[in-house]
Amino acid sequence: MWLFTPLALPYFSEIYITILKFAHFQLGLAGGFPGFAPLHWVFINTTGILAVLWACIRLRYPVRDFALADAYARIVVAAVLVFWIWQGATPLLTLFVATEIGGALYVVWPRKAV
């Protein structure tokens, strides 16, 4: 959850994206990293807000159906990220693919009741 909190807030989201852009160029990765117009920031902040909200709901209500929905959504997000990497987005996004797949496995992994 805390990983996405900066994306929910204007100015902090710019810092977050600047760090990703810096890492992309420092690593000499292929693929594009475009500039962002105000409409891009609207979608970034909206997505960040929804991610934080969903994480809070999942923490507050640890229901199996929510876990399955979360896992499904994470797999879809990972697939979309792979699609955009394939289309020329920065390969740095593979880190997010890995965290989405890891998160999907984590939320559905059987655990002992506490």
Please state the pTM of the whole predicted model.
0.78
pLDDT more than 90, % of the chain: 38
Higher pLDDT, 81 or 59: 81
Give residue-wise pLDDT tens across range 57-70: 988 988 889 989 99
Question: Which DSSP letter does residue 33 get?
Answer: -
Q: Which of 70, 69, 100 is nearest to 84 (CA)?
A: 100
Q: What is the largest CA-CA distance in the chain?
A: 47
Provide mean pLDDT across the span 61-83: 93
